[in-house]
Amino acid sequence: MTKTDLSPKTEPKKPEPIKKAMLMAAGFGTRMRPLTDTMPKPMVPFLGKPLIDHALDKLAAVGVEEVIVNVHYKADMLEEHLASRTTPRIIIANEREKILDTGGGLLKARSMLGEDPIFTFNSDSVWMEGQGAALQRLIDFWDPEKMDALLMIAPATNTIGEVRRGDFTMDADGRLTRRHELQVAPFMFAGVQIFNPKLLDGAPKGKDVFSTNIFWDQAIDTGRLFGLRMDGVWMHVGTPGDLTQAETFMKTAL
């Protein structure tokens, strides 16, 4: 007689939703001139819609409810535009007095971020989706037990715009390391990550202007910086030429 297995089945663990994000929108967009002579870079149109709205729409689509947006350059114009949005809820992190770079911006907004993992999102990060939404794939892959940050990364060979020599190498588990100085790395940071705000406890003392790279290096040292390769095509829209190339690609693909 065949025995029936009556032991309880273990249900797959459901990924925790990400409810908050910080969207980086304070920069000068110098390389995007002359378009940014009259508007902040997040307001530059891409396929008929400001870059920042592409980012906010993607965040809203995966259930993000609140987005902190830091502002500095042409801040009034950006705030006026964001006032028309109801989903997700927008909170302004005011950097009018001094621009703080990505790490400094996160640190200044620390009290708004809470303790749970958040998205950080560069306002000029755009892509064509592959199989499944890139942000949902990040949520599904995120494991707070072994990760402090999970970066969305794009293959340099499948990126539109300037890639230089790449940013990271990645092992079979998704763990990231920096490329060496004379090395060409296969992956680019694609402008979006899931980030544990507790990393901000390791911010440099007495310093308010610094990059998120400081926290990534700390996570690399402890083996807790991971990446997830995106399925789609990432577009690095750093210059007007990159923007035109990306729009042409999207129109042709669609």
- Its CATH class, for the domain covering 20-253, is alpha beta
| pLDDT, position 12 | 54
> CB count, 10 Å around CB of 31?
15
pLDDT, tens digit, 9 for 90 and up, residues 190-222: 999 999 999 999 888 888 888 999 999 999 999
pLDDT, tens digit, 9 for 90 and up, residues 111-144: 999 999 999 999 888 888 877 789 999 999 999 9
Separation between Cα atoms, residue 100 and residue 230, nearest integer Å: 29
Only one residue has tokens 């997830």, namely 228
Which residues in the chain land under pLDDT 50? 1
Only one residue has tokens 């950080």, namely 120
DSSP 62: T
pTM across the whole model: 0.88
| DSSP codes joined into one string, 102-113 | HHHHHHHTHHHH
Residue spans per domain, the chain: 20-253
Run of H or E residues at 140: helix 134-141
Beta strands 187-195 and 149-155: pairing type? antiparallel
**Residue 93 burial (10 A CB sphere; 0-12, 13-18, 19+):** buried
Separation between Cα atoms, residue 50 and residue 82, nearest integer Å: 11
| pLDDT, position 96 | 92
Question: Among 88, 90, 45, which Cα is nearest to 70's?
Answer: 90
Contact present, 241 and 164 (Cβ < 8 Å): no
| DSSP codes joined into one string, 158-219 | GEES--TT-SEEE-TT-BEEEPPTTPPPSEEEEEEEEE-GGGGGGPPTT-----THHHHHHH
Contact present, 174 and 227 (Cβ < 8 Å): yes
Contact present, 236 and 242 (Cβ < 8 Å): yes
